[in-house]
């Protein structure tokens, strides 16, 4: 197997711990989150609970980010109905990506390092491929994107 780096890998020294942890983006006294602060791309799709965005910069074609409209640090903080709705939306994203053709699999990632919009990384879901996956799903269902 060929790896995209040369060996041997050398670990970096860990940074000093900061206690208490500084405010994250989107938290009181922290920087504004990317979406609330206007630094995100325009939503490709949205409804009353979620927004779907192309990333500001990413080298993976077809990457999209799903964000809850309300700030949460984790799924544990979400109301049950919204956590359940995440499954519905994630399923739609995957079906839309697969419907584009030429897509064998769609991958879903969860980042667990709160780096924005109060838990942004915790509840941002990185899906690929097909930046217009929700729009494609809406068209296939005969509905307009955006709600």
Higher per-residue pLDDT: 11 or 138? 11
pLDDT at 55 over 90: no
Work out the average pLDDT over 67-92: 90
Q: Can you give the pLDDT at residue 107?
A: 86
pLDDT at 4 over 90: no
Is 27 in contact with 117 (CB distance < 8 Å)? no
If 0-12 CB within 10 Å is exposed, 13-18 middle and 19+ buried, where does residue 9 land? exposed
φ, ψ for residue 66 (rounded to 5)? -100, 130
User: Rounded CA gap, 123 and 108, in Å?
Assistant: 12
pTM value > 0.75: no
Which of 30-34, 50-54, 135-139 is most confident? 50-54
Query: 43-140 has which fold?
Result: HIT family, subunit A (3.30.428)
φ, ψ for residue 96 (rounded to 5)? -65, -40
DSSP helix, strand, coil percent of the chain (3-state; round to 5): 25, 15, 60
pLDDT tier, 113 (very low <50, low <70, confident <90, very high otherwise): very low
pLDDT tier, 75 (very low <50, low <70, confident <90, very high otherwise): confident
User: Rounded CA gap, 139 and 57, in Å?
Assistant: 26
User: Rounded CA gap, 130 and 100, in Å?
Assistant: 8
Instruction: For 88-110, write each residue's pLDDT tens digit.
Output: 999 999 998 889 888 888 888 87
């Amino acid at each position: 197997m060929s790896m995209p780096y040369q060996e041997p890998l050398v670990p970096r020294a860990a940074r000093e711990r900061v206690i208490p942890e500084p405010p994250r983006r989107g938290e009181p006294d922290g920087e504004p989150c990317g979406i609330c602060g206007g630094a995100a791309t325009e939503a490709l799709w949205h409804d009353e609970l979620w927004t779907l965005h192309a990333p500001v910069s990413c080298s993976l074609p077809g990457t999209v980010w799903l964000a809850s409209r309300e700030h949460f640090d984790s799924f544990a903080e979400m109301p049950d109905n919204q956590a359940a709705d995440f499954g519905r939306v994630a399923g739609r994203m995957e079906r839309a990506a697969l419907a584009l053709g030429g897509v064998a699999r769609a991958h879903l990632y969860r980042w667990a390092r709160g780096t924005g919009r109060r838990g942004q990384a915790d509840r941002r879901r990185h899906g690929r491929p097909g930046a217009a996956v929700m729009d494609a799903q809406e068209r296939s269902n005969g509905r307009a994107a955006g709600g």
